[in-house]
Copies of this chain bind each other. A is one copy, B any other.
Amino acid sequence: MESKTRKMKNKGLAAVDTFSFLQAVRVECPLVHHISNWVTIYDCAQVVKSFGASPVMAHASEEAGEMAAIAASLVLNIGTLSTDLIESMKIATFSANKRNIPVILDICGAGASSFRDRKCRELLDERRIDIIKGNASEIERIAGLDVHTKGVDSAPLEPGNDIRQVAASLARARHCTVVVTGKEDIITDANRTFIVRNGHEIMSSVVGTGCMATSVIGTFAGAVPERITEAAVAGLICYEVAAELAVRQAGGPASFKQTMLDCIFNLSMEELLSLQRVEECSLEGS
């Protein structure tokens, strides 16, 4: 069950390619429809805007389907879910599925309550989700492992679980791309698996960095919908390179977040070229 990593220099997601995804976002300016949570809703919108795209946050069941019908991608986040919000998510996803635009689900807080687990499973069973995104314990939970989470923060991994294998199995079972964020990010569609090693530990001291990552993935997937796995990789790299640039100027978590949003706005190819750390990895036995 051990996974092996091999570096694939200048292949797949070399910095120049990452930059081409970023350019696609800036040129296409995709409309990213969100049904999100009430805590980080502003930051989710602003991170999309900082990348040069257009966020729209619309959760009323009366308009959720219509809004998804004019969007380039749909981002769902269950951070502060309710029965009503889940219904709107289903309506929007139905509309998104019909148009084949990417649907990204942040399983924020999965495992923290049986209600969350049940509603996540409903969404996954009843609709087509193109990208599932969570931290390690959330992904393990949705993959059916018996983990215990602590609210919306990641819990320590159960010994013996290879989270890369868990992610790839979930991707295979659900026919989707799975993104696990953490010290290293795993992006896998079962066929291809990427590891992104950018970012900084201060991100775990900022509320909303996980939610923003999902909105970024939605933005990149909306701009390049025919290559969503690589789009997710490129989006995470851009986001986390900006984080590395920001931490140099920040005095703490709050100024860090603001500076990161500025750095995203100004992100250049040179910065990506010098800082990007990504590998493609092959999973044994998969």
- Which A positions have Cβ atoms within 8 angstroms of B? 31, 33, 37-43, 45-46, 49-50, 52, 54-60, 62-63, 66-67, 70-71, 79-83, 109, 112-116, 150-153, 205-208, 250-255, 257-266
Contact = CB atoms under 8 A, between A and B. Distances in A.
A109 B79 CA distance: 24
A40 B207 CA distance: 13
Nearest to A50: B253
Contacts of A262: 250-255
B252 A67 contact: no
Contact of A38 (B38, B70, B113, B150): B38
Leading 6 A-B pairs by shortest Cβ distance = A252-B262, A56-B151, A254-B261, A63-B113, A63-B115, A252-B265
A151 B54 contact: yes
Contacts of A55: 151, 207
A102 B43 CA distance: 30
A153 B81 CA distance: 26
